[in-house]
Amino acid sequence: MNIQEKLMHTQLRLKAPKSQFNKFGNYNYRSCEDILEALKPILTEVKAIVTLKDKIIQIGNRFYVEATATITDTEDTSSNISVTAYAREEESKKGMDASQITGSVSSYARKYALNGLFCIDDTKDSDATNKHGKEATETPKQEKKYKCKDCNTETTEKVAKYSYNKYKKVLCVDCQKKQK
């Protein structure tokens, strides 16, 4: 088998289900480690290895992790195929120090490099649509008009969603101030 055939065989055999669950965001996901665990037996079978390499790059004033996933034929080490993916570091993330932010961004970029290399389809992936807890878990009614639960004043959708996230009920700006 040449490297293209080994990659094709691996792509066809690889099953990496979303077996992890994020309680905060209420979604299932797969980690980079999940993909690698599922890959190892197939790589042994086809006599290939996968390596991951990170590089920190700066674009403008933002830092990105450039992750490259490479499959190499162990029978012909000059034969390999690589895919690169990028992820941007947040300037700050609550509860994380700088090294933890870089580590989580690295994992994310590596996961998407592996997804590209092994054709792991994430069209149903919650990561693509997940708001990571930045919106209400139970959204206020999808009407254009929102009423404050305390004073019955009409409020905007943005104010209604913010108050629902914070106080678990729709409140106008004035009633939110009273909650503090």
Q: What is the rounded distance in angstroms from the CA atom of residue 169 to the CA atom of residue 172?
A: 10
pLDDT of amino acid 123: 55
- Higher per-residue pLDDT: 104 or 80: 80
Burial 138-155 (b: 16+ CB within 10 A, else e): eebeeeeebbbbbeeeeb
CATH 3.40.50 fits 3-129, yes or no: no
Q: How confident is the model at residue 144 (pLDDT cuts 50, 70, 90)?
A: low
Q: What is the pLDDT of residues 51-65, one digit of tens each?
A: 999 999 998 888 899
Q: How confident is the model at residue 87 (pLDDT cuts 50, 70, 90)?
A: very high
Q: Hey, where are the domains in the chain?
A: 3-129, 146-179
Q: Give mean pLDDT, residues 61-80.
A: 95
pLDDT of amino acid 51: 97
pLDDT of amino acid 139: 44
pTM summary value: 0.64
pLDDT of amino acid 142: 42
